[in-house]
Amino acid sequence: MEGRKNVGWGFLFLGLFMAIGFFLGYMHDIAPGKAQWIAQYASGTHFETRVAHAHGALFGLINVVAGLALLNLPIAAAEARWISWLALAGLLMPLGVLLHVLFGVPPALVLLGGAAMIVATLWLSWAAFRLRSAARP
């Protein structure tokens, strides 16, 4: 039953990083000092927070889709397990961006998570292309 973790964690990340989007909207439109926030739109913490928001929501959604695919496609258990764990490891990318913004953590998690998500996505597509069509009556 590979894929259930991906669906659960994917929706969790989707929700959390959507909440960051609400924070970004508040800072842009309502917060005191919004003019300064808007002036720093393309640099520093503001830019990196937007990168985390976009990739966190996207990678969460990719995990949901990958999880549903793994639950419904006849992919070998060992292969599905690897794809599942690589997609989950991909969530380290947006988490790494946030940790960098908040605590100055080096970007190793960003690179590791990004690479894991690319491999998981390409591997899942390769596994799907290899499936044979079921005989139709």
pLDDT tens-digit profile of 11-53?
999 999 999 999 888 888 888 888 887 888 777 788 899 999 9
Residue 136 lies in a domain: no
76-95: per-residue pLDDT in tens?
A: 999 999 999 999 999 999 99
Residue 41 lies in a domain: yes
Residue 28 lies in a domain: yes
Confidence of residue 74 (pLDDT cuts 50, 70, 90): very high
Residue 112 lies in a domain: yes
Determine the longest span between alpha carbons in the chain, in angstroms.
66
The end-to-end CA distance of the chain, in Å, is: 28
Residue 29 lies in a domain: yes
pLDDT at position 136 is: 47
pLDDT at position 104 is: 94
Are 98 and 52 within 8 A, CB to CB?
yes
Domain span holding position 84: 4-130
Number of domains in the chain: 1
- How high is the mean pLDDT of the chain? 92
pLDDT at position 135 is: 44
